[in-house]
Structure 1
Amino acid sequence: MTRLSILRRLALSLVLSLAMAPAGPVLARSAVQTPAVQTAAAPTQVALSAPDRRAIDVSVWKAADERAVIVFSHGFNGHPAAYDGIIAAWVEAGFTVVAPLHIDSLRHPLNAQADGPSAFMTRIIDLATVRAFVTAEHAGQPIVAAGHSFGSLMSMIAGGAVTLAGPQGDPAVKAVVALSSAGDLKGVVTPESYAGLTTPTLMITGDEDLVPQYVDDWRAHRSGFDRSPAGGKMLLVFEGGDHSLIRNADAADFDLIARASVAFIEAHVLGEPRALEALTAPEGVTIERR
């Protein structure tokens, strides 16, 4: 079997798995949801040209006092603006957020033409193109790779994780923030996939983070933490947190997610190790470090 056929096979398996994820939010820890404290302002839209000649629609939320740039990859079928709460928190903290609209998004004009292999491969191309854009337009600023679900897998790949597609890591990525990972996807993620994930990585999940028919044990979402080399790794687990936690968390949980992600970036990217010292686990949340 050729490398290309292997890549197409694993990509199709991945996308079919993630397509089964709930499209809408499910209740997280609290029965009554409290909206996030803020939403992001309208982004600037930038059109980038991919090496395969596609146009990549990119949303840019520019921080007034920029300290780093977060390249964000949305979940399967999603879109960047669906995460406006956490984006607003990151921008306020001084992190510009740059997020492409992937072709598997229901808002993408080519969505009807997207199959499994193209969704996987074009995401890799999209994110590499965006990181090159960030390097040119935000010279000298460190880059963080972040994402949700399918996007979190892409972010960990940029941080050094290796799927059957082979190594696609980018040394420009100084930290990874993985929100509800894609789990242990058969045919895509192997037991050795995270051995190369040496980049500092924050993972956030919950003990109800399930994908019907595909992820029936939430612990699959912590594999990147458990199987990667120790050093610079942190895991937050929310009691009752589901696969849409980043979008449906109550105010207290959202605040902790925002504070933890900002402090993690400050500690591991901006050279401020004391940023994490005050981070403690409230009732219903566990914090692990390796």
Structure 2
Amino acid sequence: MPVVAQHQTIAIKPITVPSEGRDVELEVKVTAPVQGADLPVILFSHGNAWSMDGYEPLVDRWAAAGFVVVQPTHLDSRRFGLGFDDPRFATIWRVRIADLHGVLDHLGHVMEQAGLTGRVDQSRVALVGHSWGAQTVGALLGARVLDDAGNAGEDFSRAGIKAGVLIAATGTGDSLTPFAVEHLSFMRPDYSTMSTPTLVIAGEKDQSKMSTRGPDWFLDAYHLSPAPKWLMTVPEGEHTLGGIAGEAVAETTDPDPARVALVADAVSAYLFDALGVHTDPWATFRIAAESGRRATLQRKG
């Protein structure tokens, strides 16, 4: 269900981004259309253990639609070997947020290194994340992290970000499993302050091992945040929504290339609208998705 023209793409990696307080250098991959100008930007945050080399089924499709996509490798990437029991793991959620701020602070440098100077519209930047990456992105969109007493933590929101997309975003922390409470205490998002326009994407059959609730846990980012928001629920979708992290990867429990294309096109269409590039693709996508019963969409605001 393509919503825009498909373009040839090119990928450039690694590009080093200046950073502080990291054990290793912050590196990103940039994927972009071969041609075009005034290109909007997607900064993408990967799920736990992944890297800038994952999520090609999404990233390639976004670049083919006309976006420049920037993918950092966070410290929880399996290539660095920092497991749940590593004492440094407890603060990686903060480093992840700092990674995104760092890329945004040096976006001009990244575009220069990628050979894209003069072709990018840096006033049209959106943030997208999957799983842990969705919680990371949510922090820049205005969400907070609650402490054990239920008090909201620091404000990591980023001025100038016009829109975001949260894919399989962590729900509230009142239903965490004992393992999650012990190792992932930051999984207590407060969405009440997440006011940036956002599309929340959730799988109808996404059952997290970190929560005692069912798939409705992944709807909290929509229901508990202020408008304007959209929610897209994907029938039969599980946590990787058909295989968005890559073709035939071990984590995929619901392989379906058509479902991956659906998610990718939803993001492109929504962001074209939210960033003020085009409005027609989002309207066209919604009609096609709902008439074909490929997804259920809700809106507030």
Shorter chain as normaliser: what TM range? Answer: 0.7 to 0.9
Offset at residue 262 of structure 1 (A)? 0.9
Percent of aligned pairs with the same residue? 26
In 2 relative to 1, CA 137–89 (structure 1 residues): closer, same or farther, beyond 3 Å? same
> Residue by residue, what CA displacement relative to the aligned partner does 1:152-209 show, whole Å, maximum 9, x if unpaired?
0111111111223321000122111111112223454668x22221111111111211
Question: 1:255-270 alignment to 2 at 5 Å?
Answer: 255-270=261-276
Does structure 1 retain, via aligned residues, the 8 Å contact 2:205–2:235?
A: yes
> Residue by residue, what CA displacement relative to the aligned partner does 1:64-98 show, whole Å, maximum 9, x if unpaired?
32521111111011123220000001111111111
2:99 paired with 1:126: yes
Partner of 2:28: 58
Aligned-partner SS, 2:165: strand
Q: Which of 186, 206, 211 is residue 209 of structure 1 equivalent to?
A: 206
Task: Measure the CA separation in 2 of the matches of 1:78 and 1:40.
Answer: 22
Unaligned runs of 5+ in 1: 1-36
Does structure 2 retain, via aligned residues, the 8 Å contact 1:236–1:285?
A: yes
Offset at residue 223 of structure 1 (A)? 0.9
Deviates more, 1:244-253 or 1:145-154: 244-253
Look up the equivalent residue of 1:229 and give its one-letter code: P
Unaligned runs of 5+ in 2: 1-5, 112-119, 147-152, 175-184, 246-251
Task: Measure the CA separation in 1 of the matches of 2:232 and 2:59.
Answer: 19
Offset at residue 268 of structure 1 (A)? 0.7
Partner of 1:179: 167
2:50 paired with 1:78: yes
Partner of 1:166: 154
Aligned-partner SS, 1:242: coil
Instruction: Kindly tell me the number of residue pairs found equivalent between the two proteins.
Output: 252
CA RMSD of aligned residues (A): 2.7
Partner of 2:232: 236
Look up the equivalent residue of 1:257 and give its one-letter code: V
Partner of 1:96: 68
Q: Which of 7, 15, 21 is residue 46 of structure 1 equivalent to?
A: 15
Question: Quick one: higher RCO (CA 8 Å, sep 6+), 1 or 2?
Answer: 1
Question: TM-score under structure 1 normalisation?
Answer: 0.78
Task: Measure the CA separation in 1 of the matches of 2:8 and 2:136.
Answer: 25
Task: Measure the CA separation in 1 of the matches of 2:278 and 2:224.
Answer: 26
In 2 relative to 1, CA 73–254 (structure 1 residues): closer, same or farther, beyond 3 Å? same
Task: Measure the CA separation in 1 of the matches of 2:135 and 2:41.
Answer: 19
Offset at residue 118 of structure 1 (A)? 2.4
Question: 1:187-226 alignment to 2 at 5 Å?
Answer: 188=186, 193-226=190-223
